[in-house]
Amino acid sequence: MAKKKIQSAFFCQSCGTQSPKWLGKCPQCNEWNTFVEEVLSKESDSKGGFKSKKATKPTLVSEIDYANERRIVTNDKELNRVLGGGIVPGSLILLGGDPGIGKSTLLLQFALSSKSKKILYVSGEESEKQIKMRAERINKNSEYCYILTETSTQNIFQQIEQLQPDILVVDSIQTLHTAHIESSPGSVSQIRECTAELIKYAKETGTAVFLIGHINKDGAIAGPKILEHMVDTVLQFEGDRNHVYRILRTIKNRFGSASELGVYEMNQEGLREVSNPSEILISERDEATSGVGIAATIEGARPLLVEIQSLVSSAVYGNPQRSATGFDTKRMNMLLAVLEKRCGFRLGAKDVFLNITGGIKIDDTAIDLAVVCSILSSDQDVALDTLTCFAGEIGLSGEIRAVNRIENRIAEAEKLGYKQIIISKYNKFNAKGFNIEIVQYGKIEEVFRLLF
Ligand code: TYD
Ligand code: MG
Q: Which of 254, 275, 296 is the last residue of a domain?
A: 275
Are 199 and 233 contacting, i.e. CB atoms less than 8 angstroms apart?
A: no
Same domain, 194 and 315: no
Question: Is 68 within a domain?
Answer: no
Shared domain for 265 and 311, answered yes or no, is: no
**Quick one: pLDDT at residue 159?**
93
Q: What is the pLDDT of residue 209?
A: 95
Cβ-based burial of 45 (10 A; exposed 0-12, middle 13-18, buried ≥19): exposed
Ligand 1 centre from 170 Cα, in Å? 17
Stretch (H or E) spanning 112: helix 103-112
Tell which residue, 399, 384, 413, 374, has the closest CA to residue 296.
413
Q: Give residue 34's pLDDT.
A: 84
Q: Which residues contact 278 (CB under 8 A, 6 or more apart)?
A: 303, 304, 305, 306, 412, 416
Q: Give the position, in ligand 1's atom list, of the atom nearest the Cα of 108.
A: 2
CA–CA separation, 431 and 423 (whole Å): 13
Pocket test for ligand 1, best of 105, 106, 137, 248 (most atoms within 8 A of CB): 105
Identify whether residues 78 and 36 lie together within a single domain. no
Task: Tell me the sheet residues that pair with 299.
Answer: 302
CATH number, position 320: 3.30.230.10
The CATH number assigned to the domain holding 123 equals 3.40.50.300
The DSSP result for 347-365, as a single string, is: -TTEEEEEEEGGG-----G
Cα(138) to centroid(ligand 2), Å: 15
Ligand of minimum distance to the alpha carbon of 172: 2
What's the order of all strands across the beta sheet hosting 145-149?
145-149, 119-123, 167-171, 208-213, 92-97, 233-238, 245-253, 261-267, 270-273
Q: How many domains does the chain have?
A: 3
Domain match, 304 and 424 both? yes
Ligand 1 neighbours, Cβ below 6 Å, are: 97, 99-105, 134, 137-138, 266, 268-270
Any idea how long the chain is? 452
- Quick check: 106 and 304 in contact, CB under 8 A? no
Quick one: 262 and 305 in the same domain? no
> How many angstroms separate the alpha carbon of residue 100 from the centre of ligand 1?
6
Closest C-alpha to ligand 1, atom 12: 102
264 with 377, same domain: the answer is no
Given this model, what pLDDT does residue 283 score? 73
Give the span between the Cα atoms of 196 and 202, in whole angstroms: 10
Torsion-angle region of 138 (φ positive above 0: left; ψ -120 to 50: alpha; else: beta): alpha
Walking along the chain (452 residues) 10 residues at a time, the average pLDDT comes out as 66 84 89 83 56 74 72 91 91 90 93 91 93 88 90 93 94 89 83 91 93 76 72 88 84 85 88 83 77 90 89 85 92 93 86 88 91 93 91 94 92 89 91 89 89 78
Which-ligand-closest: CA of 242? 1
In ligand 1, which atom is closest to the CA atom of 101?
Answer: 7
> Is the preceding omega at residue 259 within 30 degrees of 0, hence cis?
no
> Cα–Cα distance between 435 and 388 in angstroms, integer?
14
Atom of ligand 1 nearest to the CA of 103: 7
**Is residue 248 a contact partner of residue 207, using CB atoms and an 8 Å limit?**
no
Q: Do residues 264 and 190 both lie within one domain?
A: yes
Task: Report if residue 51 sits inside a domain.
Answer: no
> Within a 13 Å sphere around the CA of 168, how many CA atoms are in the beta-carbon half?
30
Domain contains 53: no
Residues of the domain holding 354: 280-451
Q: pTM here?
A: 0.78
Q: What is the model's pLDDT at position 251?
A: 87
